[in-house]
Amino acid sequence: MSGLAVVTAARRYRALIASPGVARVALPSLIGRLPYGMATLVFILAVQHGTGSYAVAGIATGAHSAITAFTAPWLGRLCDRGHAVTVLRITGVVYAVLLTGMVAALWAGWPVGMIIGLAALAGAANPPVGAVTRVVLPGLAPQHVQTAYAFDAITVELTYVVGPMLIALVTAVSNPYAAVVLTALLAMAGSLGLAAAPGLTARYREVRTAALAAAAVSEEARARLTGALMKLSLVVVLVVGALEAAAYGVMEVAIPKYAADLNAPQFAGAVVAAWSAGSIVGGIWFAGMNPKLTQPKLFALLLCLNTVGFGAMLLAFDLPSLAVILFLGGLVISPTTAVECELVTRIAPAGRTTEAFTWVGTGIYVGFAAGSSISGLLINEGTPLSTIILTATALVGLGALLATAASRRIARDATRLPTEPALTAAAH
């Protein structure tokens, strides 16, 4: 990373945070997203602690994730229709109540079916903090859109570093039930805090009003406002994201098994964390860059680099070498996410961006679950680690091929109407 890029990135991040309304969105967003990095682990720990069964814990975790993937687009559509504040307030409270209720049910020894049911209901009320943030944040800092998306990607990575650390700390001091309650409180605080951000309501009103006004005078604008959400270019971006998530799912199951085979299972978390650390550094670096490529071509290039990063894991010969490779490979994760977010914003019909982002989340949930399942099956069959790595690499490589093949179509659809206030500040 060049010194100039670091200086430029620091200056841009400082300008982003100083933009009116940004801090009021960024802080509650970080708090509300911490449960994203805590949910899977905390469900496994708490449900297993209460029922004594990892099978039940896995089913409860899967039910929570599956229902979240199913209901998130519906919640996103409600947000786009002007109800973002109400959605955040209601889901934040209901999610916290249901998670706390699950803890009470575990403590009281309720039937397994009730535990799984509460986990599923909680998934249905999972607050769409990330999707709302990705709609609002860039509009609050119109001169720093790339930085805003890079900052958003870094925030996501931080949740997967800080979240598990909080779980480990609380569980060590108390028990897994306390970690669930903490997860509930963070989700509620972040969701309510984001709902109270001054720029949120104005931002959604701005985009919708301008889109309707443009549609009244322009056929192109009318088509963009009323057109199908799942046009081919957006489907490609969503499928690419799902394939990436599947590859991560494959390796996040395989790496702990690899660590256990080396008689060092306690270091598996630190090795995986090196991935997120590399991504954070990459996000900082990306904010200081001025790419000359178009967004679709940059997206395809970053995916190719990500494929190389996965393939490089074949060179690992112990945990430290794997951690170094993961750190280096992680450098392109946040930049890829940032570019993907900008493409989704540009491709989605006006007034339906939140829903589009929730579909991105659905693809990630489904992809990660599929990848984890594939990895588990391969490990149970005694498949060598090299084959598992090649499987993950093939998934990312397929995504890179799709993005490259569809780059022209994506470029054609990834256009923003001049009258659409997608980059207009709405802090007050």
51-95 per-position pLDDT tens digit:
988 778 878 887 888 898 889 999 998 998 889 999 999 999 999
Note the pLDDT tens digit of each residue in 248-297.
988 987 888 888 888 887 777 778 888 988 998 898 888 777 778 888 99
Q: What is the mean pLDDT of each run of 10 residues along the chain (428 residues)?
A: 67 87 92 87 84 83 85 91 92 97 95 94 95 88 84 86 84 89 96 91 70 57 57 90 92 84 80 87 81 89 96 94 95 92 84 85 86 84 92 96 92 60 35
Determine contact, residues 35/186, Cβ cutoff 8 Å: yes
Token readout for 186 is: 């963070």
Q: Which amino acid is at 328?
A: L
pLDDT for res 247: 94
pLDDT for res 427: 32
C-alpha span between 383 and 261 (Å, rounded) = 13
Determine contact, residues 138/261, Cβ cutoff 8 Å: no
pLDDT for res 5: 63
pLDDT for res 424: 37
Cβ neighbours of 105 (radius 10 Å): 18
Q: Cα 148–154–158 angle (5° rounding)? A: 140
Specify the DSSP class assigned to residue 266. Answer: G
Q: Cα 41–119–78 angle (5° rounding)? A: 105
C-alpha span between 212 and 82 (Å, rounded) = 13
Token readout for 369 is: 């679950």
CA nearest neighbour of 187 among 208, 203, 213, 166: 166
